A and B are shown apart, each in its own frame.
Chain A
Amino acid sequence: QVQLQESGPGLVKPSETLSLSCSVSGDAISDYSWMWMRQSPGKGLEWIGSIYNTGSADYNPSLKSRVTISVVTSKNQFSLDVTSVTTADTAIYYCARGVTSGPYGYFDLWGRGTLVIVSS
């Protein structure tokens, strides 16, 4: 059974870098594409970005200049870095797996999410 688990600090100071990891168990990380999403209080889900099994990455333009997603194959993990955070980055952060059925993509497995609060 494939499982995803987010980890990282729950509190980050404004202007610092938010760093999260997602550990994948039960399957090889190199076989799929991987995503980060977040959900701010009272708001809908927001796609942050994806890293594909080709090694390329795609980011939400609203965050693009501040976001990096990378894979550590040896650890079967992928990570998220968001620089220069503000209180607007306070959210529950989810990692997820992306799959396709023909031309249609969707997120079939999600981690349970980790709350990150940006506060001094």
Chain B
Amino acid sequence: DIQIAQFPSSLSASVGDRVTITCRASQNIGSYLNWYQQKPGRAPKVLIFAASTLESGVPSRFAGSGSGTDFTLTISSLQPEDFATYHCQQSYRAPYTFGLGTDLMIK
């Protein structure tokens, strides 16, 4: 299976901050990396697919980058509604695997 390491596991930040979350795959997965946002009690919502493509309706302050094994999700200016858990997921090969998630909390 392709393992996905995600870090940090938690992060405290303030409204207006720029934050970066990283995922590292155990092998080259090209651009087959997706990012999801999950709020408590809610279903995950896709933010970015194919490493850097913004899903329709997602604010432009979210950006994804990377290819191969190293990927980042950047939120350029945190808004109150962005405090949530973020998951990355590889879609290169089944079994499709996720990182353990990053809890983004208000400082």
Chain A residues within CB distance 8 Å of chain B: 43-47, 50, 58, 60-62, 94, 96, 101-102, 104-108, 110-113
Determine which of A47, A96, A107 lies in contact with B97 in the assembled complex, contact meaning CB atoms within 8 Å: A47
Which residues of B approach A to under 8 Å, CB–CB?
1, 31-32, 34, 36, 41-46, 49-50, 53, 55, 87, 89, 91, 94-101
Nearest chain A CB to B42's CB is how many angstroms away? 7
Least distance between B30 CB and chain A CB atoms (Å): 9
- The SS class assigned to the A binding surface is strand
Mind listing 7 A-B residue pairs with CB under 8 Å? A44-B100, A94-B43, A94-B44, A104-B31, A107-B89, A111-B43, A113-B43
Judging by beta carbons under 8 Å apart, are A45 and B98 in contact?
A: yes
User: How many contacts A-B (CB < 8 Å)?
Assistant: 60
**Cα–Cα distance between A108 and B101 once the two chains are bound (Å):** 18
CB-CB nearest in chain B for A62: B95
Which secondary structure characterizes the binding site on chain B?
Answer: loop
State whether B45 touches A110 (Cβ < 8 A).
yes
A62 vs B43: C-alpha distance when bound (angstroms) = 23
Q: Across the interface, which residues of A come within 8 angstroms of B95, CB to CB?
A: 47, 60-62
Contact in complex: A44, B87 (CB < 8 Å): yes
A108: which B residues are within 8 A, CB to CB?
46, 55
Chain B residues near A62 (CB-CB < 8 A) = 95
- List residues of chain B with CB within 8 A of the CB of A113: 43
CB-CB < 8 A to A111: which residues of B?
Answer: 43
Bound-state CA distance A43–B100 (Å) is 6
With a 10 A CB-CB cut-off, give which of A43, A45, A94 has the most chain B CB atoms. A45
Instruction: Known A45-B87, A45-B89; judge A104-B50 contact (CB<8 A).
Output: yes
Measured CB to CB, the closest approach of chain A to B65, in angstroms, equals 15
Closest to A95 in B: B43
Q: A62-B95, A112-B43 are in contact. Are A44 and B31 (CB under 8 A)?
A: no
* CA of A61 to CA of B1, assembled, Å: 9
